[in-house]
Amino acid sequence: MFVELLPLLFFLTICVALMLGYPVAFTLMGVSFFCAGIGMGFGVFDGAYLSLIPNRLYGVLTNQNLIAIPLFIFMGTMLEKSNIAEALLKNMSLVFMGLPGGLGISTVVVGTLLAASTGIVGATVVAMGILSLPTMLRAGYKPSLAAGTICATGTLGQIIPPSICLVLLGEVVSNAFQQSQLNAGEFNGGFVSIGDLFAGALVPGMILVSIYALYLCCVGLVKPEFAPVIEADEKRAVKSTFFALIKGLFPPLFLMIVVLGSIVVGIATPTEAASVGAIGAVLLALLKRELTFEILKNVNLETLRVTSMVYLILIGAAIFSSVFRGFGGDIYIEELLVNLPGGVSSAVLVVMLLIFILGFILDFIEITFMVIPVVGPVILSMGVDPIWFGVMIAINLQTSFLTPPFGFSLFYLRSVAPPELATIDIFKGVMPFVIFQIFLLVILAVFPGIVTWLPKALS
């Protein structure tokens, strides 16, 4: 009985260590090697699994798709630190002046572009909290509405392509799908690319953005005191709305379309498209005369910092998964999920609940590389569409990061919000957006074709 529980105890030890605040990457490595040593001492762990680790690490470090990560990080950081996002927000607020909830809608539009380019929830929420929150509060927006809008918009980086989350998820889901085929003895069953996941996430992402904008517009109509319309005399400060639209929205939007479109239609690989995005972000900063040596230095340092973190976690996760399999954890998980009453639906629900709960204590990178390689092959071998599964995970994580009282997005905003904005107001403000995301999850569960039709149409 004790031997059968070893995989579970191993996983729980990892979670406890992470909750105590130890660094993720080194926790994964240290606990894995420690438990493997104990297991070998008691004769319940095959040391051959440790010999597989160097090859796995070499595969991670030489993976061409993962090279897109530092390039996408560079692109998003450049857009943020070169004040392009700030200029975009100012111009978008002019475009939506006169509309109910117009300033909130402009925040959603800008946050969507910024979230897609960075893909890091914390960076987006903090950036939008610094840029948008003071403006919305000065304009008379209800504090809870302003806070909820920024938190929800910041988490859009999980689902709006191109994003780091989808790049990593695409790679892991693809590997899990191939593993499920090998387990079933199917060696020519096709593959899933990162571009497929981008295409699958595009429509649900746009639906979510539209719901956010519609909600803000309705609030502005029904409760105008919660989302006041910006005064008309401010609108005269610009020559035309059209000029503001072209100046503020077109350049970064064009960059996103080029990057995303080239991946989705198969013209470029994610790495090639990411390099175009990185160069495009530099050119945008040059054209807007916002690029200085200091900014370039800060962008490079931030890119190096985040990339190092991601790759260290990748290495730690590879070691963890090897040791977990050495303890028979993959077999334990498979038996657990396959024998659940209710079949596939129950298995998917249990996995989604597990990911949702882990989203309170772990970042998406840790969850992606700790949980998906373990449960993914089992779920996908039960006939679940891999693209649908990946998109549902992304939206589920997005919902977890937004849900009080433990959602990461809430704490990120709290760190930059003024003292007069109460934490309870942040909690209240995000609840409608959490409901919208749960609603979208239910809709996608009932109508999976919303996710899968575009990848099939482009294949």
Q: What is the DSSP string of 116-163?
A: HHH--HHHHHHHHHHHTHHHHHHTT--HHHHHHHHHHHHGGGGTSSS-
* pLDDT-above-90 percentage for the chain: 14
Q: Note whether residue 247 is domain-resident.
A: yes
Angle at 361 between CA 359 and CA 363, to 5 degrees: 60
pLDDT tops 50 at residue 235: no
E-state strands within 76-128:
none
Residue 195's domain spans which residues?
66-305+398-458
pLDDT of 444: 94
pLDDT of 248: 61
Question: What are the φ/ψ torsions at residue 103 (nearest 5 degrees)?
Answer: -65, -40
Residue 421 pLDDT level (bands cut at 50, 70, 90): confident
Residue 238 pLDDT level (bands cut at 50, 70, 90): very low
Q: Which two tokens stand for residue 141?
A: 């927006």
**pLDDT digit string, tens, across residues 82-92:** 777 667 777 77
Q: Note whether residue 449 is domain-resident.
A: yes
Check residue 441 and give left, alpha or beta (phi > 0: left; psi -120 to 50: alpha): alpha
Q: CB-based contacts of 76: which residues, under 8 Å, 6+ apart?
A: 114, 117, 118, 119, 120, 123, 281
Q: Which two tokens stand for residue 404?
A: 């009080």
What mean pLDDT is reported for the chain?
Answer: 82
The total domain count for the chain is 1
Q: Note whether residue 341 is domain-resident.
A: no
Task: Answer for the pair 108, 149: CB distance below 8 angstroms, yes or no.
Answer: yes
Higher pLDDT, 200 or 90: 200
Q: Which two tokens stand for residue 234?
A: 């401010």
Q: DSSP characters for 385-446?
A: -HHHHHHHHHHHHHHHHHSTTT-HHHHHHHHHS-TTS-HHHHHHHHHHHHHHHHHHHHHHHH
- 3-class state of residue 99 by DSSP: coil
Which stretch of 73-87, 177-191, 220-234, 346-360 has the lowest confidence by average pLDDT?
A: 177-191
Question: Residue range 123-127: average pLDDT?
Answer: 74
Residue labelled with tokens 């597990």: 354
| Nearest residue to 414 (alpha-carbon basis) of 211, 157, 163, 154 | 154
Q: Note whether residue 375 is domain-resident.
A: no
DSSP secondary structure code for residue 44 in this structure: -
What's the CA gap between 109 and 394, in Å, rounded? 20
Q: Note whether residue 190 is domain-resident.
A: yes
Task: Answer for the pair 216, 291: CB distance below 8 angstroms, yes or no.
Answer: no
CA dihedral 20, 334, 379, 190 (to 10 degrees): 120
CA dihedral 156, 158, 163, 165 (to 10 degrees): 170
Q: Note whether residue 8 is domain-resident.
A: no
Task: Answer for the pair 3, 9: CB distance below 8 angstroms, yes or no.
Answer: no
Q: CB-based contacts of 319: which residues, under 8 Å, 6+ apart?
A: 28, 29, 32, 33, 53, 57
Whole-angstrom distance between the N-terminal and C-terminal Cα of the chain?
48
pLDDT tops 60 at residue 371: yes
**pLDDT digit string, tens, across residues 4-15:** 677 778 878 887
Q: Note whether residue 335 is domain-resident.
A: no
Residue type, 423: T
pLDDT of 232: 52
pLDDT of 119: 61
pLDDT of 228: 84
Q: What is the CA radius of gyration of the chain?
A: 23
Q: Note whether residue 428 is domain-resident.
A: yes
Residue 218 pLDDT level (bands cut at 50, 70, 90): very high
Which stretch of 86-95, 175-184, 223-232, 237-246 has the lowest confidence by average pLDDT?
A: 237-246
**pLDDT digit string, tens, across residues 28-39:** 888 888 888 888
Distances from the Cα of 190 to the Cα of 193, 236, 388, angstroms = 10, 57, 16
What's the CA gap between 122 and 124, in Å, rounded? 6
